[in-house]
């Protein structure tokens, strides 16, 4: 798991912002219902964000992140990955997520992303971005090749190369199909996603002619984007600034 249960996005809430929120059940292309969380600004926004969580799926960290986007006038939907194997009910902190992660398939996750994007479009959004973390960062990058009509994709410390679960192609294998700009925000001290892997992804994207930027924060670990990691507060602030600038540039 990328975050502890008491972790929170390192983003200040905007005092006085008018935001609504609701638990959703969305339906994917194969007929599967899956859980989601919708956060909407007080005034309708035309730039929407699909939030892709880490391996645990939908929980409080990502609901709060969706609220932070909505406070900045971006309607946001955070999705769950496990409707096919765990249903749509709320889950406790003891949820054993890895058996469900091992049953996920790239094409089905991307179908769920598409369903969330379609809901945002139905509510008036005309530019859709994906923003994901760890497992979700990987799938955010994949969405740039697998989901039609995205304006951009942001991945925090996703694995661009092979993984032992989540069947389907990895982002490195799909660089030739990328149809939207990519932003990657990586930890320089990530023990598993090493500099060699990040550099290889950077080269593959460049050779494919894909618009992209990969930013590495020296000394930062995997999952540095967390209010609890006070020593990486400056890196988190810079990463958030880059996310907002990326969205503004490509919306």
CA-CA-CA-CA torsion for 6, 223, 72, 64, nearest 10 degrees? -20
pLDDT at position 167 = 76
Domains of the chain: 19-250 (3.40.50.1820)
pLDDT at position 93 = 86
Least Cα distance to 136 among 171, 84, 103, 187 occurs for 171
pLDDT at position 76 = 98
Distance, in Å, from the CA atom of 154 to the CA atom of 151, rounded to the nearest integer, reads 10
The most distant pair of C-alpha atoms in the chain lies apart, rounded to whole Å, by 46
pLDDT at position 15 = 82
- Assign 105 a pLDDT band (cuts: 50, 70, 90): very high
pTM (2 decimals)? 0.97
- Assign 16 a pLDDT band (cuts: 50, 70, 90): confident
Count other C-beta atoms under 10 Å from residue 226's C-beta.
Answer: 20
CA angle 182, 184, 190 (to 5 degrees): 160
**Mean pLDDT, range 21-26, rounded to an integer:** 97
First to last CA, the chain: 31
**Mean pLDDT, range 10-35, rounded to an integer:** 94
Kindly tell me if the per-residue pLDDT of 134 is higher than 70: yes
If you average pLDDT over every residue of the chain, what do you get?
95
Distance, in Å, from the CA atom of 55 to the CA atom of 3, rounded to the nearest integer, reads 10
């Amino acid at each position: 798991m990328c975050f502890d249960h008491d972790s929170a996005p390192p983003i200040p809430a905007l005092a006085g912002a008018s935001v609504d929120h609701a638990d959703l059940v969305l339906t994917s292309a194969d007929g599967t219902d899956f859980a989601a969380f919708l956060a909407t600004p007080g005034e309708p926004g035309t730039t929407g964000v699909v939030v892709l969580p880490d391996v645990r799926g939908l929980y409080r960290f990502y609901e709060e992140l969706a609220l932070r986007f909505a406070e900045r006038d971006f309607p946001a939907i955070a999705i769950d990955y496990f409707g096919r194997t765990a249903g749509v009910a709320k889950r406790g902190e003891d949820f054993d997520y890895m058996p469900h992660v091992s049953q996920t398939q790239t094409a089905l996750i991307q179908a769920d992303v598409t369903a969330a994007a379609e809901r945002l479009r139905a509510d008036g959004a005309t530019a859709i971005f994906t923003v994901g973390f760890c497992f979700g960062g990987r799938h955010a990058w994949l969405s740039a090749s697998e989901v039609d009509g995205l304006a951009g994709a942001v991945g925090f410390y996703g694995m661009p190369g092979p993984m032992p679960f989540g069947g389907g192609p990895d982002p490195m294998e799909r660089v030739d199909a990328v149809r939207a700009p990519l932003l990657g925000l990586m930890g320089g001290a990530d023990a598993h996603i090493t500099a060699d892997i990040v550099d290889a992804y950077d080269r593959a994207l460049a050779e494919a002619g894909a618009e992209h930027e990969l930013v590495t924060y020296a000394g930062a670990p995997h999952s540095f984007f967390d209010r609890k990691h006070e020593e990486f507060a400056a890196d988190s602030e810079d990463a958030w600034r880059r996310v907002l600038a990326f969205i503004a540039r490509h919306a």
